[in-house]
Structure 1
Amino acid sequence: MLNKKRLKVLDANLLYLIGAILFWTLGAYVQRRSLQSGLIITQYVIILLPPIIYIKAKKLNIKETLKLNKISFKHGFLVACITILTYPAAVFANTLLMTIMSLIGNLNIPQLPTATSSSEYLILMFVISISAGICEEVFFRGFILSGYERMGKKRAIILSAVLFGFFHFNLYNLMGPIVLGLVFGYLVVETNSIFAGMIGHIVNNGFAVTLGFILNLVSELLPEMDTASEAAVELPTSIAMLSSTIVFGVISAVTVLIAYQLVKIIKKDRVELNSKVCSEETKVEVKGVEFTPLIFTGILFIIIAIVQIKEIISLG
């Protein structure tokens, strides 16, 4: 196993740095010109293409590296159900951090694009759900996770999830992606298939897009809801956020328990294969210098976080 050619931690961190640089240069530029086409370019050119080129350049087996293995219909369906059930937990994690942030001032939460018509809904489903689900999973649960597996699968899942959260470069949407990254990473490792992560990611984002579309339709049919929403905004930010945190905390406590039962079904189905994989797993000592590329992306995130915190205080 030690002689088998595979990705290293340094490879994962280098690509992460490359992705961050491209995201804040080319990605920012194309998204300013046109948000929808810019997001498509960001996903396929900045996020999907680099790991494929990197793998080809190192002459690695792309199928083994990215875990392009089949997943059964049963497990695919369970993954979709687990994702829906963990959605409240991701929202809870985000609102919890935002509740803490609201203690220092008023929040300026970025609004995600939502569909107001069927055509917009289909476009957003392709851009935000399908494209992001494929491209980001190849980058994080394919390339990054594989690079970190030298440190052990548990550490690989945790570290790749944290990097996934930080890659959003947004305090308002930091903890949710980390929670989802943990879920997707675990499911990919458990099923040994990147398609588990893709299914989960597509379902999660698709659920968010669909929810936004439905809320827009309901607000058009019931205009009085807009008045209620305006009244809700008048509540102190910290109280509004705390209320949301409590609600989603209670909901997620129930749904996560149900999701765990579904996870146990997948584990039971694959217990023989998993035991074989675990017996073959070999951890390799990783040198601290391999994490050097993360210093630069960390600095970038800190700068963005400081800007957002200053904005919150100024709105206070």
Structure 2
Amino acid sequence: MSDSVRPLQGRVAVVTGAARGVGAAVARELARRGADVALLGREEATLARVRDEIPGAARCWEVDVTDDAGMSRVAGEVRARMGPASVVVANAGLAEGGPFAESDPVTWRRVVEVNLIGSAISARAFLPQLRETRGYYLQVASLASIGAAPLMSAYCASKAGVESFAHSLRAEYAHEHVGVGIAYLNWTDTDMIRDADEHPVLRELRAHMPRPARKVYPVGTVAGRLVDAVERRSAAVYAPAWLRATQAVRAAMPPVVTALSKREIPRLQRETPFEGTGLLGAGGLADLDGAGRAQR
């Protein structure tokens, strides 16, 4: 990645969760900047549509990021058909909301498995190639990695986990010149977020956040910032940029969130009964379908 003009030209970039949303937008932007993109996800037909929109040597693979053997197989096929990966964007993720005590244990666990364990499996599958190419691994995290919110315990726990995982990975492979970055995202205009706003519990949660924190950002803008970070091999990228400021006050955030929640949650419960949302968005529905669990 030494070409200062087009550092991604001809490089192989892998994106998980690439069927829609942030993953699809990142894949398109990587291709626009010259990368050959491997799209990984649960939905073969949707992945193929994204692939067909992308110029250049894009390919797609249907695979579950929590499947060790499947991810290992796909990594081998990416190398054989496209060459060794220089970039991996670990974007695949799920979300659900609602009170923890009444949450479905299978759904709660699935969010953690995809977001955290799936990221680790993605890294394990492609690390041999990244070590060979002295490549770059970008872990998609969230504002939830910095400041946890009530009613989203699985999502917050998993995103805090991937942040720590990425820090550990960076330290472990720095001497081999493998770069590791963390992308901290806020609300982004994807079907997952649009679905969240259909559920009173999550709509109210976002509505009671400070004004900048509840704004929804265009997916193309977010994807552009992430690919800028890939080109620069950044240790961290914030979308929007103001999220960087939360790092300075993250130790103060839990007691503030607790104090606000202590006041607001009883009031909101009187107005709107809190219920579990199930997995959010079309990606969540596809995960239910692919895993053979109950249909929505």
Scaled by the length of structure 2, the TM-score of the pair is 0.32
In our comparison, the structure showing a higher alpha carbon Rg is: 1
> Higher helix share goes to which structure?
1
> Higher strand share goes to which structure?
2
Scaled by the length of structure 1, the TM-score of the pair is 0.30
Higher relative contact order (CA 8 A, sep 6+): 1
